[in-house]
Amino acid sequence: MNAVRMARSDRREVTRWAGEFAPRRSSVSEARRTARRLLPLMDFTGDLDSAVLIVSELVTNAVNQSQGEETALLVRLSVSEGALTIGVTDHSRTVPRPSHAPMDTDAESGRGLLLAMALGATLTWKRGRTGLKEVCALLPATSGGTR
C-alpha cells in the first residue's frame, strides 16, 4: 500500500501516495519523515515545512482520538498542479473542530487545526459509509516553496 502512483485525472497529472500507520505516538514522527521524503518526489511546489507540519498535526489528532483503538490510521498524500491534499482517516466519532476559545498559551495541545489553517490550508472532513472519518487539508501550490 505504500506506493507513489501517477494518474491522469481530467487531463491533470495527479501523484498519489497512501500508507497505514499504527495509532501510536511514534507514528507521528514516522508520518512526518515520510512526508518530508516523498513530497519533493511528488512535485509538490508549496512550502514543504508547512506541509510536513500539517501532516504531523493531523496524524497527532488521529492518534489522540484513537483511544486504545488498534485499527491503523490511513494517511493519503495527493499532489495535483503543485497543490497538496493531505487526508488522514481514523475510526474516531469525534467531530474535528478548530477551537474558537481564546488560546491558552501554556496548553500543549488543541491548536493543530488552527495551526493548519494559519499555514494556509483549507480543512474539510467527511464520514464515509463505513463510519470512518477522514480529515483533509488542501495546501495550495506556491511558486517559491521551501525544499
Domain ranges across the chain: 22-94+110-139
DSSP letters along 99-120, please? --SPP-TT-SSS-HHHHHHHTT
> Which one, of 49, 27, 43, 38, lies nearest residue 3 by Cα?
38
> Residue 16's pLDDT is what?
94
pLDDT digits (tens), the chain, 147 positions: 444 555 555 556 789 999 999 999 999 999 999 999 999 999 998 999 999 999 999 999 999 988 777 789 999 999 999 899 999 999 887 777 665 545 555 545 557 788 888 898 999 999 877 878 999 999 998 754 444
What's the mean per-residue pLDDT of the chain?
82
Give residue-wise pLDDT tens across range 78-99.
999 989 999 999 988 777 766 5
Question: Which CATH superfamily includes the segment(s) 22-94+110-139?
Answer: Histidine kinase-like ATPase, C-terminal domain (3.30.565.10)
